A and B are shown apart, each in its own frame.
Chain A
Amino acid sequence: MATAAHKHPNYMAIFWWLAILTVVELAVVFMPMSKVTIGVLLCALALAKAALVAAYFMHLKFETRTLTWIAFTPLAIAILLIFILMPDSFAVAKKTEGGKAAATAPAKH
């Protein structure tokens, strides 16, 4: 039963952490900071909360390391997808600008 002690971390402490981090997130939205800073802070806070849930509520911290790799795969795929889609996203923006320029140009004549 050596693992049984590991299996019951202090759940209430995790609950309070999650509650506090949620309040911090809400506070960050109203902080007088640049949009980029707020964005980075919010992403970091969300990932921290997700990590707490996975590590303690889902017991990932007390499982084999391989299970953590399985759990991380979707995150890696999602981030990869963002980079795959990024060039398309910029291409669309450029095309729209070009389209607008072409549409307004003949009106000048």
Chain B
Amino acid sequence: MSAATHASTHAVEAAETPLTPESWGKLGMWIFLAGDAVGFGVLLAGYGIMRASSSDWPNPYDALGINLTAAMTFLLICSSVTMVKALEWLGKGDRHRAINYLLYTAAGGAIFVSLQAYEWTHLIHRGLLINGNPWGASLFGTTFFLVTGFHGLHVTGGVIYLLAIVRWILNRPDPAASYNAVEIVGLYWHFVDLVWIMVFTFLYLL
């Protein structure tokens, strides 16, 4: 190792990021979410274009129904609130309450995915398939299952992520030691909520 290599390595290792001084992990999560949002953005843009160029696109409201989904939307907003509460309690040094609120959040996510499974089963029985449906354009089913499925996988991953962070807190007696980890899982969870707001509007309401 030459002295020059050592110096250049040292030069790029800044002690803190100017964007998120608290942690590099937070910047990492933001960049991951931006990339993930491109994935959702592409799916939704593709959906919009296919729907606009189709002459027999079914009316989503008639085909899907929105009562259950509206309740699911409300559930996800509630889980976002329990998520911010978890971080708030951890900031106040109360690990016990923070863990409880993280578990409420995870439970909200688990119920959401269960309701989605119920909804899918119901719709499949009514004839909505990935390659066809009784109401019109077959791409209606394709885009529906792809977009809600991609989001459902994110919620499932989020529940596992939340439970992993609960374990992380349990292993660290000092609340300050897990603050960053909880803030970062919170970013992910709110992002999943934000995406659902878009999916609900574009796939169910419009």
**CA gap between A12 and B31 in the complex, in Å:** 28
Which residues of chain B (183-206) have a CB below 8 Å from chain A?
186-187, 190-191, 193-194, 197-198, 200-202, 205-206
**B77 & A15 in contact (Cβ 8 Å cutoff):** yes
- Mostly, the B contact residues are helix
Q: Is B117 in the interface zone, CB < 8 Å from A?
A: no
Q: Provide the residues of chain B in CB contact with A92, threshold 8 Å.
A: 53
Chain A min CB distance to B152 (Å): 19
Interface residues on A, range: 35 or more
**CA gap between A90 and B58 in the complex, in Å:** 19
**CA gap between A79 and B46 in the complex, in Å:** 11
Per-residue CB proximity of A69-103 to B under 8 Å, as 1/0?
01101110111011001101110110000000000
Per-residue CB proximity of A11-25 to B under 8 Å, as 1/0?
110010011001001
Q: Provide the residues of chain B in CB contact with A28, threshold 8 Å.
A: 205
- Mostly, the A contact residues are helix
Q: Provide the residues of chain A in CB contact with B91, threshold 8 Å.
A: 4, 7-8
**A78 & B52 in contact (Cβ 8 Å cutoff):** no
Q: Is B80 in the interface zone, CB < 8 Å from A?
A: yes
Residues of B within 8 A of A (CB): 18-20, 27, 30-31, 33-35, 37-38, 40-42, 44-46, 48-50, 52-53, 55, 61, 66, 70, 73-74, 77-78, 80-81, 83-85, 88, 91, 186-187, 190-191, 193-194, 197-198, 200-202, 205-206
